[in-house]
Amino acid sequence: MADVPKDLKYTREHEWAKQESDRVRVGITAYAQDQLGDVVFVELPKVGAKVTAAKNFGVVESVKAVSDLFAPVSGEVVEVNGELLQKPETVNQDPYGKGWMIVVKPANKAEWDQLLTAQQYEEYLAQGGH
Amino acid sequence: MTTNVYDKLIFELSSPGRVAWSLPEMDVPEGDARKLLPEKHVRKDAPALPEVSEFDIVRHYSRLSRMNYGLDTHFYPLGSCTMKYNPKLNEDMARLAGFARLHPLAAEALAQGALQVMHELAQDLAEIAGMDAVSLQPAAGAQGELAGVLMIRAYHLSRGEKRTKVLVPDSAHGTNPASTAIAGYEVVEVKSLPNGEVDLDVLTRTLDTDVAAFMITVPNTLGMFEPRIVEITELCHASGVQVYMDGANLNAILGITRPGDLGFDVCHFNLHKTFTTPHGGGGPGAGPVGVKAHLEPFLPVPVVTKDGDAYALDWKRPSSIGKLQAFWGNFGMLVRAYTYIRTMGPDGLRSVSDNAILNANYIMKRLETDYDVAVPGPCMHECVLSARRQKKLGITATDIAKRLLDLGFYAPSTYFPLIVEEALMIEPTETEAKETLDQFCDAMIQIAREAETNPAVIHDAPVTTPVRRLDQTKAAREPNLRWTRRA
Amino acid sequence: MASRYIANTPEEQRRMLGVIGAASLEELLVKIPTKARLARPLGLTPALAETDLIRHLKALAARNADADSHVCFMGAGSYDHYVPSPINHLISRGEFFTAYTPYQPEASQGTLRTIYEYQTMIAELTGMDVANASIYDGASSLAEAALMAHAVTDRSEIVLSRGVHPLYKRVTATYCEGPGVRLRDVGAPDGVTDLAAAKKLVGAKTAALVVQTPNFYGCLEDVAAAAEVAHAAGALLVVVADPVNLGVLEGPGKLGADIVVGEGQGLGVPISFGGPNLGVFAAKNELVRRMPGRLVGATVDRDGHRGFVLTLQTREQHIRRAKATSNICTNVALCALVATIYLAMLGRRGLVRVGELSTAKAHYASERLARVPGVSLRFAAPFFKEFALKLPKPPERVVARLARQGFLAGVPLKTFERSLGDCLLVAVTEKRTKAEIDAFTAALEKAVA
């Protein structure tokens, strides 16, 4: 079973979200990177862009697959992991750490509670993850 | 194993001062081009192209060619690609100076033979597909699709209907949604039944006045004829929806049934599949598109017309969708297809499909115990197997494909259609002999045994090719798309 | 009746049906409803024996006035350039000719290597970072460039010079119809783009400015100045250029182009009544992930040996489907192979020589022809190998008359632009001799007298 840290929240599209004071850090889960295989390219929004919960904010690509990235929460992008452009493999190597993608300043706190808990996400994966 | 393989690029053969060209003398008085052209337009340095002898060239490209599997040298069971023999006579005919050396803007009176070939070919294709008119202009299947969808769009608009969606099954070729998107439509994917057939319940629910077209492949991408196709086209028409047939699999139905008779409004032809023009390592192809009469006003311009004995290019078509290529189509490919159709005649073409179907069913039968069949037969011109049984042993469709290369065969199409797990799509075509099919089936069965007893030999494959499995990840992460001299 | 392209004999068919467990071929067609069947044979001409078919096709071919039977001064996007003999022999090798798209790279290194060589040569000639494996033709390349500029900039207008080939413009308009990209024209009244007018048209909505050099009239455009106009407004500059000229002419990339497209037919591809042709497409590195078409990249195999693969495929329709950068699948790989061998043969000095000969002979021809009474050069702007002549008699009639004397005199411009109804576009390649040009001048003189 894939690694699912207890302190994070999750989406059904396999993004994780981490509360950091008033901001939310976002990446894709260990399960997601494993399903994709070797990540070769990540396309992320610019700092200042607005993202909307459950809407596409970027793209992650492996050699033969493209996967849209979905924002766990709505808000403004305040940080982007520019290193992924040069080193996309970081997403495979450290999905919950150096492989993070964006940091969002949430616009709607209520959205946080809609996200899956680690336990719910694990159950979701156990049912096949889609 | 691969150490003795030729590994040069043409740039690496360059030796300053060598020439491979022979050009006429400068026989006009002012020969210095630099005096004739303003300096700002003139290149500062000669381009860094190779300097090699003619024989260097001939040997280099001959050696490179031997690093390819071609249809002339290997069985090519690529599903959906119809890799059938490309007759040599077609090549001779396309190279006749009257065709190969004819300028596209030659006055009509000076190009009557070429226009006649085009006119007759368009008529033949219309007869084969049961359509009322055919444009030969699209350069490939994908461009035929774009033309077809644009004509549908123009048709709806001409009736004051602004429909916004096109339905495409989840089993479709990728070009279908891509072409549809370029035509400005929202693509709605329609889930197929597990056997690849259209789910009529889903279709009925999805059809509404916002749907411009339904685009399907017949036979479908699982190699099966859609048994309720006539119902489907009628259902679409009842909602004012146009029905487009992707003609990629036309090789299965020549003289047996016709898209037009099934109710299709538009279909395209891949001349590089059914009509034996060569694939050339990825084109050029030709993708003529046929339509029913109500779509005829929207055909790309110009249309080849015949008045008495005179052929002409008709540009005065105010409702036309416009143009897809600068000129009239991939004419060289049209000459080849025309030659083929005239070679085969009506009985010959029918026999093509009969034998293509026979060969595919033979392969399916011979492999059905060692592989999972995606849908029970009989199939049409191709069959889809699943390597899901082998996957449990750690052998994927890709592994099987690579092992086949070692056993002397090109690979089937893999991972398509997307709705079949570990898909292996096999299309033998009518031009292959039974003993080739047997050898291929023996190889496939051998691989199935190896998956159980000696998977290492499959994982290692290929070892007989000029290179072994290549690092696709490195290629995509660090794109190296042009040669540079090593410092 | 037996066909030479089908191997199965009736006996073999019977044995195969036996294995399948079907009594007849008909039994394999059970899924096709009877009402959907064609109840008659196809209404086509009966099969012809090889010798009869050759006779028929030769007779058709003989009805065309081709560039072997006539001396060709026609251009307008399709040119009678030198084709070295080895090209046809090499591309006819079945391993190249009958191979499929190189999806199994281990069994396709020949094709992949030639495409990699092609990409390198085109990038070098155009002065760009990266070239793709080809598009159908110059016109569809321009259409793809317009859509790419629209996607990259998220702007919805393309400004095209009237010096761009009118048929390319029509193709671009067809492709831009669905996405709703608006095309705007900027004039070229003196034979070159009116850049002052362009500056007024190019603005915040402009995705790209498009110029062609040499343009449709044969005149050379100021690409660097056009780049300034485009870039000042945040738009891309798309340049249509013919690679066969780029031995002598500067690569548009060096002058500020962001995307270079063009027709590569001159690089050894037969004129063949306009197709198949070779769509050239090159761009700057930062645009590579938005490029249409296939790309070949270098990598290594398991043993560390150099090898080549199709790469960055996630751009393409078979993976990204409706969101692909283009719908293109089959392109014109064999024509790209022709161009690769051509450029290898002409090489560093030969291609320069082709350009020098063409331009020198074209200038000689223009001087001779413009001295014919009543005939003049339509534009004063500098040209390369093609120029518009103003004739005192209807060009269509002059062309018909000269054809009877063995000349393909040029392309009348009337159908392209009404205001140039008295003009004939004349192209001169390195193949034309001084004697041919002199004879053509004499014939034209008689024809317009």
Grouping H, G, I as helix, E, B as strand and the rest as coil, residue C424 is strand
Nearest CB to C5; choose among B65, B85, B179? B85
Query: Tell me: the pLDDT tens digits for C151-203?
Result: 999 999 999 999 999 999 999 999 999 999 999 999 999 999 999 999 999 99
Nearest CB to B284; choose among C263, C335, C396? C335
Nearest CB to B110; choose among C64, C330, C340? C64
Q: Report ipTM for this prediction.
A: 0.98
Whether the per-residue pLDDT at B91 is higher than 50: the answer is yes
Contact yes or no for C64 and B114 at CB 8 A: yes
Whether the per-residue pLDDT at B5 is higher than 90: the answer is no
Helix (H) or strand (E) holding C50: helix C50-62
Checking DSSP bridges between strand C386-390 and strand C423-427, what pairing results, if any? antiparallel
**What is the mean pLDDT of the segment spanning B68-76?**
97
DSSP secondary structure string, A69-86?
EEBSS-EEEEEE-THHHH
CATH number of the structural domain spanning residue A105: 2.40.50.100
**Measuring CA to CA, which residue among A13, A22, A16 is closest to residue A4?**
A16
CA distance C90 to B55: 12
Nearest CB to B99; choose among C61, C175, C329? C61
Chain B residues with CB-CB distance to A40 below 8 A: 473, 476-477
Is C299 an interface residue toward A (CB < 8 Å)?
no
Residue spans of the domains in chain B: they are 10-65, 89-343, 352-473
Contact yes or no for A41 and B477 at CB 8 A: yes
Nearest CB to C347; choose among B19, B86, B106? B19
Sign (positive/negative) of CA torsion C216, C220, C225, C228?
A: positive
Contact yes or no for A64 and C319 at CB 8 A: yes
Query: Which of B15, B61, B165 would best serve as a mutation to test chain C binding (most C beta carbons within 10 A)?
Result: B61
Query: Which of B470, B473, B477, B480 would best serve as a mutation to test chain C binding (most C beta carbons within 10 A)?
Result: B470
Is B132 an interface residue toward C (CB < 8 Å)?
no
Enumerate the β-bridge partners of residue C267: none
Whether the per-residue pLDDT at B33 is higher than 90: the answer is no
Let me know: does B413 contact B78? Beta carbons within 8 Å. Answer: yes
pLDDT of residue B77: 97
- What's the gap in Å between the CA of B77 and the closest CA on chain C? 11
More confident residue, B382 or A2: B382
CA distance B330 to B136: 8
pLDDT of residue B1: 44
**What is the mean pLDDT of the segment spanning B416-431?**
94
Grouping H, G, I as helix, E, B as strand and the rest as coil, residue C213 is coil
- What's the gap in Å between the CA of A41 and the closest CA on chain C? 9
**Which pair of tokens denotes residue B207?**
């059809």
Whether the per-residue pLDDT at A130 is higher than 80: the answer is no
**Measuring CA to CA, which residue among C117, C122, C99, C171 is closest to residue C142?**
C171
CATH 3.90.1150.10 fits B352-473, yes or no: yes
**Which pair of tokens denotes residue B237?**
């028409």
**What is the mean pLDDT of the segment spanning A51-80?**
94
Q: At what angle do helices B434-453 and C10-20 cross, to 10 degrees?
A: 30
**What is the mean pLDDT of the segment spanning C227-241?**
98
Which chains does chain B touch, 3 or more C-beta pairs < 8 A?
A, C
**What is the mean pLDDT of the segment spanning B260-286?**
97
**Measuring CA to CA, which residue among C321, C61, A56 is closest to residue B98?**
C61
On whether residue A82 sits in a domain, the answer given is yes
Whether the per-residue pLDDT at B168 is higher than 80: the answer is yes
pTM of the model as a whole: 0.97
**What is the mean pLDDT of the segment spanning B60-70?**
97
Sign (positive/negative) of CA torsion B43, B44, B46, B47?
A: negative
Chain B residues with CB-CB distance to C213 below 8 A: 41
Alpha helices by DSSP H, B411-482: 434-453, 455-460, 472-477
Three-state SS for C352-421 is HHHHHHHHHHHHHHHHHHHCCCCCEECCCCCECCEEEEECCCCHHHHHHHHHHCCEECCEECCCCCHHHC
Whether the per-residue pLDDT at C99 is higher than 70: the answer is yes
Nearest CB to C309; choose among B85, B351, B470? B470
- What's the gap in Å between the CA of C260 and the closest CA on chain B? 16
| Residues near C399 by beta carbon (within 8 Å), at least 6 away in sequence | B107, C408, C409, C410, C412, C424
Contact yes or no for C274 and B180 at CB 8 A: no
On whether residue A92 sits in a domain, the answer given is yes
For A61, list phi and psi in degrees, rounded to 5: -125, 140
Is A89 an interface residue toward B (CB < 8 Å)?
yes
Confidence of residue B486 (pLDDT cuts 50, 70, 90): confident
Q: Is C235 left (phi over 0), alpha (psi -120 to 50) or beta?
A: beta
Query: Which of B398, B415, B421, B477 would best serve as a mutation to test chain A binding (most A beta carbons within 10 A)?
Result: B477
CA distance C186 to C225: 15
Query: Which of B415, B418, B422, B472 would best serve as a mutation to test chain A binding (most A beta carbons within 10 A)?
Result: B472
Residues 45-84 of A with CB under 8 A from B: 61, 63-64
**CATH numeric code, C86-340:** 3.40.640.10
Is A46 an interface residue toward C (CB < 8 Å)?
no
Contact yes or no for B472 and C399 at CB 8 A: no
pLDDT of residue B2: 45
Whether the per-residue pLDDT at A126 is higher than 50: the answer is yes
Whether the per-residue pLDDT at C19 is higher than 80: the answer is yes
Q: What is the largest CA-CA distance in chain A?
A: 38
Give the CA-trace dihedral at B285, C84, C110, B331, to 10 degrees. Answer: 0
CATH 3.90.1150.10 fits C71-83+348-448, yes or no: yes
Which chains does chain A touch, 3 or more C-beta pairs < 8 A?
B, C
Q: Quote the radius of gyration of chain B (alpha carbons, Å).
A: 25
pLDDT of residue A64: 83
AA letter at B334: L
Q: How far apart are the first and last CA of chain C?
A: 62
Query: Tell me: the pLDDT tens digits for B188-219?
Result: 999 999 888 999 999 999 999 999 999 999 99
Nearest residue of A to residue C316, measured between CA atoms: A64
On whether residue A7 sits in a domain, the answer given is no
Helix (H) or strand (E) holding B27: none
Nearest residue of A to residue B476, measured between CA atoms: A40
CA distance C377 to C163: 16
On whether residue A61 sits in a domain, the answer given is yes
pLDDT of residue A20: 94
**Measuring CA to CA, which residue among B377, B381, B376, B367 is closest to residue B443?**
B367
Nearest residue of B to residue A40, measured between CA atoms: B477
pLDDT of residue C266: 98
For C288, list phi and psi in degrees, rounded to 5: -60, -35
Domain containing A55: what range?
13-126
Whether the per-residue pLDDT at A1 is higher than 60: the answer is no
**Which pair of tokens denotes residue B73?**
């040298």
**Which pair of tokens denotes residue B257?**
């049934």
Nearest CB to B24; choose among C67, C138, C430? C430
Whether the per-residue pLDDT at A103 is higher than 50: the answer is yes
- Specify the number of domains making up chain A: 1
Contact yes or no for C319 and A65 at CB 8 A: yes
On whether residue A1 sits in a domain, the answer given is no
**What is the mean pLDDT of the segment spanning B18-43?**
92
Confidence of residue B487 (pLDDT cuts 50, 70, 90): low
For B111, list phi and psi in degrees, rounded to 5: -135, 30
pLDDT of residue B316: 96
DSSP secondary structure string, C312-329?
-GGGSHHHHGGGSS----
Query: Tell me: the pLDDT tens digits for B456-466?
Result: 999 999 999 99
On whether residue A28 sits in a domain, the answer given is yes
CA distance B177 to B153: 15
Grouping H, G, I as helix, E, B as strand and the rest as coil, residue C343 is helix
Q: At what angle do helices B331-367 and B112-129 cross, to 10 degrees?
A: 30
CA distance B479 to B408: 31
- According to CATH, the topology of domain B89-343 is Aspartate Aminotransferase; domain 2 (3.40.640)
Enumerate the β-bridge partners of residue C424: C389, C412
Residue spans of the domains in chain C: they are 71-83+348-448, 86-340
What are B's interface residues with A at a Cβ cutoff of 8 A? Answer: 415, 472-473, 475-477
**Which pair of tokens denotes residue C140?**
């569809």
DSSP secondary structure string, B341-372?
HHHHHHHHHHHHHHHHHHHHHHHHHHHTTTSE
Let me know: does C321 contact B174? Beta carbons within 8 Å. Answer: yes
DSSP secondary structure string, C137-183?
SHHHHHHHHHHHHHHHHT--EEEEETTS-HHHHHHHHHHHHTTTPEE
Q: How many CA atoms lie within 13 A of C152 on its CB side?
A: 27
Is B290 an interface residue toward C (CB < 8 Å)?
no
Residue B401 CB burial class (10 angstroms; 0-12, 13-18, ≥19) = buried
CA distance B484 to A5: 46
Is A65 an interface residue toward C (CB < 8 Å)?
yes
